[in-house]
Amino acid sequence: MSEHDADPPEVARVAADLIRFDTTNFGGGRSRGEREAAEYAGAYLEALGLDVDYYEPIDRRTNLSTRIPGRNRDKPALILHGHLDVVPAVAEDWSVDPFAGEIRDGILWGRGAVDMKDMDAMILTAVADVLRAGEQPERDIIVTFFADEENGGVEGSALVV
């Protein structure tokens, strides 16, 4: 680990934290579940003063959502969404632990680092930047994280909708 890796930006720390939750989705209804990752994202949003709703129609297949009020409630809301599950990782095929969220030489390694826990972290920290600056978006923003995207959303977004 380089000196730069010791103090990564918040977005990298959040992404690394999300990677550490093994949310493996094997497909066909077989999954480790997204509950702990959803609770982490929910706690992050709640710490920003937002109310979070959880929806778990199937045990451990947790979805969450929050709505940030905009200045002009007449405009349609903007939805920012991501998924919390990942495809399986065979640890023997990796040079790092796929669920360690390791930052090495300025690069975050782990299952979900490029699909999609990195983007989930970007959504969370972008919302945090806006709210911490005391700003209010022009229109409502709905932030949602789904379970089961890696299996077509059958046990995630399809049930939420």
**Gyration radius of the chain's alpha carbons:** 16
The answer to whether residue 17 is catalytic is no
85 in active site? yes
C-alpha torsion angle, residues 30, 18, 37, 47 (rounded to 10): -170
Which position among 85, 102, 120, 148 bears the catalytic label? Answer: 85
Residue closest to 80 by CA, chosen among 159, 140, 14, 38: 140
Set 140, 149, 150, 155: catalytic member: 149
Positions annotated as catalytic residues are 85, 149
